[in-house]
Structure 1
Amino acid sequence: MRLLLTAILRFLLRHALQFALFIVILLAGRLLLAEWRSYSAGSEAVAALRQASGSAGSHGASLAESATLRVNALQKTSQTAIAARQKEVQAQLAALRARQQPSLFTLPLPDTHTLALHAQEEAARHVEIEVLAQEARYLSALQAAISGEDARQTLARLHAEHVSAYAALQHNLRQRRELEALHPLAARLPGSDAYAQLSHLEAEGQRLREVNLQAYQAWLAQRARTSDATNITRPAPFAIDEQALSGALAPVRAAIAAGETQLARNWIARWRAPVLDVAPTAALLVLSAILLPVAIKAFFYFVLAPIASRLPPLSIARELQVNGSSLPLPPLGESRISAVSQALQLKPGQRMLIHPEYLQSSPVGTHKRTQWLLDWRFPFTSLAAGMAALTRLESDVTASVTISASDDPLLEVAVVHLPAGSALVFQPRGLVGLVCDSGQPLALSSHWRLASLHAWLTLQLRFIVFRGPVTLIVRGCRGVRLERAGQGRSISQSATLGFTTDVLYSTMRSETFLPYLRSQQALLNDRFDGGNGVYLYEETPRHGKQPGKVGSWFEGFTDAILKVFGI
């Protein structure tokens, strides 16, 4: 019996808990449904009110433009036309005000369709009333101004008539005095001609006195009537008061604000809006982060690079007018021209410009001083390439100078002799010094290639050219090599240091796409063509060898800028 009661109690308790759980679920669902319905109704109501506000604003702008054109056209019409338009405006205002309905801009709001219709009608009615009221006020002011102008014109006319009558009276008096002075006796003797003329002038004078008096009295009366209108001026051209017109939509905006306040208290709205706002952007960012780099690289690899490969190569030799003297090559089968240190013979009449840290040893008798820039004609190039604060050496006798990269064990130094008539396109980033004649300026020039796709794809728009005779002291990581271009050679762009001007320079696409896509190799390699031309490169370039490394973006940006200027 006891076990049976325990089983019954467990059964009842389990089902009671289920019953309570169902109640909670149903109440939560009802609450969620009520919140969703409230959010949907509020959103639709606010959207309807915003639509009404927008349409009313557009309607008001159209009415304002029409009213401005219509009223300003009345400036040159008669007062009768203005009065007729004023009567029409008053009639329209009376009809609009009589059509007023109880305000629907209250909460709770009616259904969306009804609210939208009534809101648009009521907002449009408020706007029309405001525009017509402004027009009526302006027409009243215009009527008053025109009435004042008419009164002043009448006063001026009556004053002119009085002045004319008074002048005629004075003229009559002068004629009588002159007649009496000429004929003092005859003018008083009846029957004489003088007496007849004097009588006529006296009768005319009496009439002129009456005319003058009437003109004066008419002028005084008009002046009294005009005294109240003398300060009334014609108003400026009609323009709608935009602030007042905007105020006509204040009830709509108040209802929108109330609806938005109610929506702000809905927890669905609080979560839905932020998520929906950022979700498309987040999806787009994720998609662009995946596809955009691939698309850009694919476009460069499959479109721009093949186009550039088919274009004519660059040539610097045509505009330099050099005789084509090439550089001396190392023995057959060898191309390495660098060493850890180099010994140079500095002859009298020559000067050496060298970075101080590369000057390992020099004779005591040499003359040393500081030269601030490699070439003052190219200050930016000298500073950007690091060719500043150089040590200038000169000697009265032949002196042996040892050059070495003492601060970096991986750097080697090469000596490149440019004979007279030869020219070398060189990137000053690899230059550590040079030897040239003391009495001659350094033959250095720059050449832009803005119309070449090769230049734009490699971002090297400017080429620096050194002309012989000059000896360049060049550095390179793990060594520097000098090779003949022959029928065509290709090397990494980051390794290129320079090439002679008789070389045809172009670019060619890297052989495989996946290493380029994974940033393991550059898009383009440098290509050199030309039978006698030579090119110069370093074996293990550090410049531009970390295309995919995070944290070196600033260094990469500055390298790109320097590359544009050929440095």
Structure 2
Amino acid sequence: MVFYCCEVSQSYTSHTSITKLLKTRGVKLQGGHTVNVSLKPTETLFIHLGWLQYCPLEVTKRTRFLWSYRYPLLSYVANLKEMQALNLPAEVAEACITLGSKQDSHKHIISIELSEHKAVVLHPKYIIATRGDVHIKTRWILNRLHSWVTGRLRYIIFYGTGTIYVYGQGGISLERVEPQKRVRVDQHALIGSQANLTFTTIRNETFWGYYREKEALFDYHFMGDGIVIRQATVSNELIALANANPFMRIVNNFMTIIGKVLGF
């Protein structure tokens, strides 16, 4: 499995040894807020709306309501829907397509190349495009307390031979996990990890910070031998949405109504 990163160099300025380790494992780093995709006639690029910055006139576009009609329910639930399918005519040897956010310049891109059915666990909301023979499956984990603590009972696993393009806010870091070195990651910053890694949860914050929807209460603690992908920054809105509990929603809605009545 090879990771091609965009705009991660700043994340590694104080992690030179990590960068060397990653390079020995076939991890290549690239710069820029965009990524160029070399499309061939035998390939199809599926891309979310709003992420295609440039494509030649020779490229044909068509609407793809579901990423995979082989997995219609999974595609819909994973938000892999309302995409574009890009193809190249047989008479054109190759075309260069540029991917990048049209709305937020702070979103950075990483491409994950899968081969020989290697698997990676990803949050589908960070996926912007796929190319090649990529498949999807799920795994329910109901018998572990850590899954209930994080509220994540089902994991989306991508495998096959192809490329998955994902984005991260403010930069992307690849954290190396080794048997002698465990990695701790904020659950809100986590994008994905190699499927062979195991994890537990550890207490991260005081209860009041979690109660006020400012911090995550638990972090992921990864073990094994592989790579964890995380983004550099997380918006307050995402933290609040992830931490929102029914009681606080009721209180906030009530205070909003009172504020409107009082003219605030």
Q: Verify same fold: TM over 0.5.
A: yes
Alpha-carbon shift at residue 328 of structure 1 (Å): 4.4
1:178 match:
none
1:59 match:
none
1:435 match:
131
- Give the Cα–Cα distance (whole angstroms) in 2 for the partners of residues 512 and 337 of structure 1: 38
2:81 match:
388
Structure 2 counterpart of 1:491, one-letter code: V
In structure 2, relative to structure 1, the CA distance for the partners of 1:337 and 1:509 (3 Å cut) is farther
Structure 1 counterpart of 2:200, one-letter code: S
* Structure 1 or 2: more strand by fraction: 2
Say yes or no: does 1:405 pair with 2:101: yes
1:477 match:
169
* Structure 1 or 2: more helix by fraction: 1
In structure 2, relative to structure 1, the CA distance for the partners of 1:356 and 1:517 (3 Å cut) is closer
2:122 match:
426
In structure 2, relative to structure 1, the CA distance for the partners of 1:370 and 1:513 (3 Å cut) is closer
- Give the Cα–Cα distance (whole angstroms) in 2 for the partners of residues 389 and 514 of structure 1: 39
Bigger Cα displacement from structure 2, 505-514 vs 349-358 = 505-514
In structure 2, relative to structure 1, the CA distance for the partners of 1:484 and 1:329 (3 Å cut) is farther
Say yes or no: does 1:544 pair with 2:238: yes
Alpha-carbon shift at residue 464 of structure 1 (Å): 0.8
Listed one character per residue, the Cα deviations across residues 397-455 of structure 1 (whole Å, up to 9, x for unaligned) are: 22111001002232222212122231001111111111114xxxx42111111111111
- Give the Cα–Cα distance (whole angstroms) in 2 for the partners of residues 545 and 333 of structure 1: 28
In structure 2, relative to structure 1, the CA distance for the partners of 1:332 and 1:436 (3 Å cut) is farther
- Give the Cα–Cα distance (whole angstroms) in 2 for the partners of residues 341 and 510 of structure 1: 33
Aligned-pair identity (%): 26
In structure 2, relative to structure 1, the CA distance for the partners of 1:553 and 1:386 (3 Å cut) is farther
Alpha-carbon shift at residue 378 of structure 1 (Å): 3.6
1:463 match:
155
- The 5 Å alignment of 1:174-213 reads none
Say yes or no: does 1:447 pair with 2:139: yes
Q: Is the 8 A contact 2:122 2:191 kept in 1?
A: yes
- Give the Cα–Cα distance (whole angstroms) in 1 for the partners of residues 76 and 118 of structure 2: 26
Alpha-carbon shift at residue 493 of structure 1 (Å): 0.6
In structure 2, relative to structure 1, the CA distance for the partners of 1:389 and 1:548 (3 Å cut) is closer
The residue matched to 1:468 in structure 2 has which SS? strand
In structure 2, relative to structure 1, the CA distance for the partners of 1:446 and 1:412 (3 Å cut) is same
2:41 match:
348
Q: Is the 8 A contact 1:476 1:541 kept in 2?
A: no
Which of 55, 72, 75 aligns to 1:362? It is 55
In structure 2, relative to structure 1, the CA distance for the partners of 1:433 and 1:553 (3 Å cut) is farther
Gaps of 5+ in 1: 1-325, 555-567
Listed one character per residue, the Cα deviations across residues 372-396 of structure 1 (whole Å, up to 9, x for unaligned) are: 1012244344334432221111223
- Give the Cα–Cα distance (whole angstroms) in 2 for the partners of residues 456 and 358 of structure 1: 34
- The 5 Å alignment of 1:10-21 reads none
Alpha-carbon shift at residue 361 of structure 1 (Å): 0.8
In structure 2, relative to structure 1, the CA distance for the partners of 1:361 and 1:519 (3 Å cut) is closer
The residue matched to 2:158 in structure 1 has which SS? strand
Which of 142, 166, 183 aligns to 1:489? It is 183
Listed one character per residue, the Cα deviations across residues 79-107 of structure 1 (whole Å, up to 9, x for unaligned) are: xxxxxxxxxxxxxxxxxxxxxxxxxxxxx
Say yes or no: does 1:535 pair with 2:228: yes
Q: Is the 8 A contact 2:192 2:230 kept in 1?
A: yes
Q: Is the 8 A contact 2:3 2:110 kept in 1?
A: no
1:208 match:
none
- Give the Cα–Cα distance (whole angstroms) in 2 for the partners of residues 338 and 456 of structure 1: 38
- The 5 Å alignment of 1:54-453 reads 326-328=1-3, 333-334=18-19, 339-395=32-88, 396=90, 397-437=93-133, 442-453=134-145
Greater relative CO (CA pairs within 8 A, separation 6+): 2
Q: Is the 8 A contact 2:213 2:239 kept in 1?
A: no
Pair member with larger Rg: 1
The residue matched to 2:238 in structure 1 has which SS? coil
Listed one character per residue, the Cα deviations across residues 473-517 of structure 1 (whole Å, up to 9, x for unaligned) are: 111111222221222111111111111111112211115455445
The residue matched to 1:357 in structure 2 has which SS? coil
Listed one character per residue, the Cα deviations across residues 25-84 of structure 1 (whole Å, up to 9, x for unaligned) are: xxxxxxxxxxxxxxxxxxxxxxxxxxxxxxxxxxxxxxxxxxxxxxxxxxxxxxxxxxxx
The residue matched to 1:455 in structure 2 has which SS? helix
- Give the Cα–Cα distance (whole angstroms) in 2 for the partners of residues 474 and 391 of structure 1: 16
TM-score of the pair, normalised by structure 2: 0.75
In structure 2, relative to structure 1, the CA distance for the partners of 1:475 and 1:382 (3 Å cut) is same
Which of 196, 220, 223 aligns to 1:502? It is 196
Structure 2 counterpart of 1:423, one-letter code: A
Alpha-carbon shift at residue 344 of structure 1 (Å): 1.0
- Give the Cα–Cα distance (whole angstroms) in 1 for the partners of residues 67 and 209 of structure 2: 39
The residue matched to 2:146 in structure 1 has which SS? helix
In structure 2, relative to structure 1, the CA distance for the partners of 1:329 and 1:484 (3 Å cut) is farther
Q: Is the 8 A contact 1:360 1:404 kept in 2?
A: yes
TM-score of the pair, normalised by structure 1: 0.36
Q: How many residues align?
A: 224
- Give the Cα–Cα distance (whole angstroms) in 2 for the partners of residues 370 and 509 of structure 1: 44
Listed one character per residue, the Cα deviations across residues 269-325 of structure 1 (whole Å, up to 9, x for unaligned) are: xxxxxxxxxxxxxxxxxxxxxxxxxxxxxxxxxxxxxxxxxxxxxxxxxxxxxxxxx
Alpha-carbon shift at residue 458 of structure 1 (Å): 1.0
